Amino acid sequence: MQPEWTTLVADRLAELYERKFGGKDKGRYRISVRLVREAAGRNRLYEDDVKMLTRSMLEKGFVLIDMDSFFVVMGMNSFVNYRRANEELLK
């Protein structure tokens, strides 16, 4: 079972995706590790914490990408129309 804070932070991050800021009506954004830590009420985010938060985000239809000093939040729909590699390409 996931800790409650992961669901609460995932909800906040999902809400930000729908909010207008940074010159865009909604969509992908980056957020510092510090702000995510503060939202979680934690002094540190460990690898397991990030994995749990990532899982919570996936369940809400979002991808959380850890870029070390910041996170990127994207909707899973962003990846639907990407080109698909197949076995022939890998030969």
Helix residue ranges, H only, the chain: 4-18, 33-40, 47-59, 87-90
* pTM beyond cutoff 0.95: no
In a domain, 88, yes or no: no
Give the pair of three-digit tokens for residue 11.
């909800």
Residue 12 — very low, low, confident or very high, per pLDDT cuts 50/70/90? very high
Q: pLDDT tens across 78-90, in order?
A: 888 888 899 999 9
Q: Specify the DSSP class assigned to residue 8.
A: H
Count structural domains, the chain: 1
User: Does a structural domain hold residue 54?
Assistant: yes
Please check the confidence at residue 32 and state whether its pLDDT lies above 80.
yes
**In the predicted model, what is the mean pLDDT of residues 8-35?**
96
User: Residues near 81 by Cβ (< 8 Å), separated by ≥ 6?
Assistant: none
Report yes or no on 90 lying in a domain.
Answer: no
pLDDT digits (tens, 9 = 90+) for 33-43: 999 999 999 99
CATH number at residue 69: 3.30.1370
Contact 13, 64 (CB under 8 A): yes
The domain in which residue 20 lies consists of 4-79
Residue 66 lies in a domain: yes
